[in-house]
Amino acid sequence: MRSATEPMAATAEDRLVAGFAALAIVIHVLEAGFPSPIPGVKPGLANAITLIVLLRHGWRLALWVAALRIVAGSLLVGSFLAPGFWLSLTGAAASLAALGLCWQWNRLSARRLPSLQLSALGLSLCAALAHMAGQFALAYLVFVPHSGLLTLLPLLMTAALVFGLVTGAIADAILRRLARLSPPPQRPILDP
């Protein structure tokens, strides 16, 4: 709808994505400084942002934020296209897939078993576990097919459980604050 000669004005949506993505990128870069038993495998705290965007603004924006976070984050950290990049990508893909499944579950149980739906806490937990499992799977299958790696799996998944709950609680708190400040925007038509 914009003509080729007019300067492109950023829409409100663009600003939203940029803002959240910036936050996620900052978290991603800070996380890169964390030591980890398997280099490149991270707790995935930036997933909290993805979750918040998902619950407030729907899938499309959440995917954008996630993609931007991974690409720009890895460029900043210097791991673009390095093993760390693929690990982040796999982790994010796995956690988004898990979120999708949980979303479906929530939908399906909405009528018959509403109390069994997952709140931000449960969603974040599943996303974090999937994130870690996805990263581990990639590390184990592709980079280091060494059975010794398996002894780290229980530890990593425990960390994922803890981080998942923590980010879930944080995301939940943020969502409430945001809901008070400005009610959730009209759901985009492409909302699943």
Contacts of 119 (CB under 8 A, 6+ apart): 168, 172
In 3-state terms, the chain is what percent helix, strand and coil (to 5)?
75, 0, 25
Binding of another protein by 176 (CB under 8 A): yes
Considering only the stretches 2-10, 13-21, 22-30, 162-170, report the one whose residues sit in contact with another protein under the rule CB under 8 A: 162-170
- The answer to the question of residue 101 lying near another protein (CB under 8 A) is no
Helices 120-138 and 47-57 pack at an angle, to 10 degrees, of: 130
Structure tokens at 5: 């000669």
Q: By CB under 8 A, tell whether 110 contacts another protein.
A: yes
Q: Are 28 and 46 in contact (CB under 8 A)?
A: yes
- Tell me how far, at minimum, the Cβ of 76 lies from another protein, in Å: 14
29's tokens: 């870069």
Position 143 contacts another protein (CB under 8 A): yes
Using CB under 8 A as the binding rule, whether residue 63 contacts another protein is answered as no
Smallest distance from the beta carbon of 49 to another protein, in angstroms?
15
Tell me which of 14, 78, 101, 185 binds another protein, using CB under 8 A. Answer: 78
Q: Tell me if 191 contacts another protein by CB under 8 A.
A: yes
SS3 label, residue 112: helix
Confirm or reject binding of residue 7 to another protein (CB under 8 A).
Answer: no
Q: Which stretch binds another protein (CB under 8 A): 11-19, 21-29, 65-73, 106-114?
A: 106-114
Please choose, out of 6-14, 66-74, 88-96, 137-145, the segment that lies near another protein by the rule CB under 8 A: 137-145
Q: What is the DSSP string of 45-101?
A: TTHHHHHHHHHHH-HHHHHHHHHHHHHHHHHHHT-TTSHHHHHHHHHHHHHHHHHHH
Q: Which residues, 6+ apart, have CB-to-CB distance to 146 below 8 Å?
A: 140
Binding site for another protein (CB under 8 A): 35-40, 54-55, 58, 78-79, 82-84, 103, 105-107, 109-110, 114-123, 125-126, 129, 139, 143-154, 157-158, 161, 164-165, 169, 172-173, 175-176, 179, 184, 187, 191
